[in-house]
């Protein structure tokens, strides 16, 4: 009985061991690759295949995952280094490099350490591109400098299966003496712009004042012209009104002078004017006027009446 129990126990133990081995083998054969990651598999030490994201199967004890490469974009600091510009100014330049693996096979077998290699290539390319520019251009054309570095790196890094997406210069550190000179230059430029702006402001102010005075004189001249025109029109209308009144008065006098009563009134008026004239002469002059038959009031009136009658006859004819 004991032998039977021992045999059954041994049989069960063997199956348990076999089951454990099967589980271990299956666990080793089934591989789950994360998203945006690639596993490079070698068989007997030689490249076999590249496993992408998802469920993958390999042969245990024959195949092995030799390299793991992420396919995400990666950022690496490029250490600060010295570079000399075209005008012989030494600069300290550092930046950030953005890399992405495109071909895991080349990234594993084309270069020993693609990150180190690309970083060194970025430094040498940056020194070369900075050497083509003057100091002022390195600050003004930083974007074009970044593009030139990226283009040069990608051209050289094609056998490594990686692509440089961007290269950003973080800081450019010139010598202290150059910084002081640049600061003085910037200060002079600011003062120059301030003087120019002040002169432009004064010039514009003078122009505005002159324009205002010009418009004021024009408006004053137009007002004076309008006033003269109105005065002339008023005087003309006044003259016309006076002339019309005189004409109407003469017309009335002429109409009345034709009648008998008018003749008598004219005689009386002429006699009074003659008497007043002689009185005025007597008051203002030391000459004594003696009346005679030719200069008497009656003779003056008679002569005036004769003229009026002749005029009336002429008008009647």
CA–CA distance, 169 with 57 (Å, rounded to integer): 44
**Mean predicted confidence (pLDDT) in 267-272:** 67
Given a cut of 60, whether residue 287 has pLDDT beyond it is no
Mean of pLDDT over the chain: 79
Q: Minimal CA–CA distance to 78: which of 186, 9, 188, 170?
A: 170
**Mean predicted confidence (pLDDT) in 188-215:** 85
Given a cut of 90, whether residue 98 has pLDDT beyond it is yes
CA–CA distance, 314 with 310 (Å, rounded to integer): 6
**Mean predicted confidence (pLDDT) in 97-106:** 92
Q: For the ranges 7-16, 50-59, 62-71, 165-174, which has the lowest average pLDDT?
A: 7-16
pTM: 0.52
Residue with the bigger pLDDT between 258 and 48: it is: 48
Residues 6+ apart with CB under 8 A from 106: 159, 160, 161, 162
CA–CA distance, 5 with 289 (Å, rounded to integer): 196
DSSP string, 146-188: HHHHHHHHHHHSGGGTEEEEEEEEEEEE--HHHHHHHHHHHHH
CA 222 to chain centre: 39
pLDDT digits (tens, 9 = 90+) for 145-200: 888 889 988 988 888 999 999 998 888 888 777 767 777 877 888 888 888 888 88
pLDDT digits (tens, 9 = 90+) for 12-48: 776 777 777 766 666 778 888 899 899 999 988 899 9
Q: Minimal CA–CA distance to 71: which of 196, 156, 11, 161?
A: 161
Q: Minimal CA–CA distance to 169: which of 228, 81, 58, 282?
A: 81
CA–CA distance, 42 with 109 (Å, rounded to integer): 12
In the prediction, which pLDDT does 40 show?
92
Q: For the sheet containing 46-51, what is the strand order? A: 46-51, 37-43, 63-70
CB distance 162 to 107 below 8 Å: yes
Identify the helix (H) or strand (E) that includes residue 17: helix 2-29
Residue with tokens 């490099």: 97
Given a cut of 90, whether residue 242 has pLDDT beyond it is no
Given a cut of 80, whether residue 205 has pLDDT beyond it is yes
Residue with the bigger pLDDT between 307 and 181: it is: 181
Given a cut of 60, whether residue 291 has pLDDT beyond it is no
Residues in the chain: 317
Given a cut of 60, whether residue 304 has pLDDT beyond it is no
Task: Report which listed range, 99-108, 127-136, 255-264, is most confident.
Answer: 99-108
In the prediction, which pLDDT does 316 show?
53
CA–CA distance, 163 with 135 (Å, rounded to integer): 29
Given a cut of 50, whether residue 290 has pLDDT beyond it is no
Residue with the bigger pLDDT between 139 and 5: it is: 139
In the prediction, which pLDDT does 100 show?
92
Confidence of residue 253 (pLDDT cuts 50, 70, 90): low
pLDDT digits (tens, 9 = 90+) for 106-156: 999 988 888 999 999 888 888 888 888 888 788 778 888 888 889 988 988
User: What architecture is domain 74-174?
Assistant: 2-Layer Sandwich (3.30)
What b/e readout covers 305-317, taking b as 16+ CB neighbours within 10 angstroms?
eeebeeeeeeeee
């Amino acid at each position: 009985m004991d032998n039977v129990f021992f045999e059954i126990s041994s049989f069960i133990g063997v199956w348990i061991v076999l089951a454990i081995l099967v589980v271990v083998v299956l666990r080793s054969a089934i591989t789950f690759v994360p998203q945006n990651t690639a596993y490079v598999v070698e068989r007997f030490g030689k490249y076999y295949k590249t496993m992408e994201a998802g469920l993958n199967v390999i042969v245990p004890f024959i195949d092995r995952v030799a390299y793991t490469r992420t396919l995400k974009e990666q950022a690496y600091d490029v250490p600060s280094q010295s570079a000399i510009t075209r005008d012989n100014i030494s600069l300290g330049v550092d930046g950030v490099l953005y890399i992405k693996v495109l071909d895991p096979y080349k990234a594993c077998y084309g270069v020993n350490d693609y990150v180190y290699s690309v970083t060194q290539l970025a430094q040498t390319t940056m020194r070369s591109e900075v050497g083509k520019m003057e100091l002022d251009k390195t600050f003004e054309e930083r974007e074009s400098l970044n593009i030139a570095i990226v283009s040069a790196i990608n051209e050289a890094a094609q056998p490594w299966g990686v692509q440089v997406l961007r290269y950003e210069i973080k800081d450019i550190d010139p010598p202290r003496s150059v910084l002081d000179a640049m600061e003085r230059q910037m200060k002079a430029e600011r003062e120059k712009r301030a003087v120019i702006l002040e002169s432009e402001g004064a010039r514009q102010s003078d122009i505005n004042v002159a324009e205002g005075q010009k418009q004021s004189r024009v408006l004053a001249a137009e007002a004076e012209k309008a006033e003269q025109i109105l005065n002339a029109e008023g005087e003309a209308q006044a003259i016309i009104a006076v002339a019309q009144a005189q004409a109407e008065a003469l017309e009335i006098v002429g109409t009345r002078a034709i009648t008998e009563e008018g003749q008598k009134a004219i005689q009386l008026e002429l006699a009074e004017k003659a008497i007043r004239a002689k009185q005025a002469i007597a008051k203002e002059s030391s000459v004594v006027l003696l009346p005679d038959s030719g200069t008497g009031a009656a003779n003056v009136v008679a002569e005036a009446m004769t003229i009026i009658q002749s005029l009336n006859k002429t008008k009647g004819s």
